[in-house]
Amino acid sequence: MPRTHLTSVDDVPDRGGWLCTVEESDGSLREVVLVRLADGIVAWKNFCQHETDQKLYREGVGTVMRDGGIVCPKHGSVFDAATGHCDNGKAAGSTLVEVDVTVELGAVYLTDDDVTFDHAGPADAVDGDDDDDDDDLPDSTSHLSF
């Protein structure tokens, strides 16, 4: 079975998840979040079933987890992190879209035939493509925020 190395198990935090971007068969990019369970790692496409433009993993926050569930930050629906099923809120009766991954010897591999790995991180952040048009200026190293 073809597989692509994504990351190490150690890089998937106990809370928050690990985000990557895959390419769908139609060429579109889709974010996938890896979530650590007590007995392994599971991967879900990064959108709420109630509102597909609502991301479950948000940059700077990660995936909000509560009592073994992934919480939709907009509606509060909670998806079981192990099964993806939701039985409450506006997404009740729906299930997250799983992406097949395999864990072997401390590494996480993408093993889903329907998608291919594109890059680590969010779909809109591709190495070398910062779209800020400030290529002649140095990058900021400030840790100040206003």
Q: What is the pLDDT of residues 83-121, one digit of tens each?
A: 999 999 999 999 999 999 999 999 999 999 999 999 999
Q: Parallel, antiparallel, or unpaired: how do β-strands 57-58 and 62-63 relate?
A: antiparallel
- Which 3-state string (H, E, C) describes 34-83? EEEECCEEEEEECCCCCCCCCCCEECCCEECEECCEEECCCCCCEEECCC
What is the arithmetic mean of pLDDT over 56-68? 91
Residue 75's pLDDT band, with cuts at 50, 70 and 90, is confident
* CA 28 – CA 68 distance, rounded (Å): 30
- Other CB atoms within 10 Å distance of the CB of residue 57: 23
75, 67 contact by CB (below 8 A) = no
pLDDT > 60? residue 146: no
Tell which CATH classification among 2.102.10.10, 2.130.10.10, 2.70.98.60, 2.40.360.20 matches the domain 4-120.
2.102.10.10
What is the arithmetic mean of pLDDT over 44-55? 90
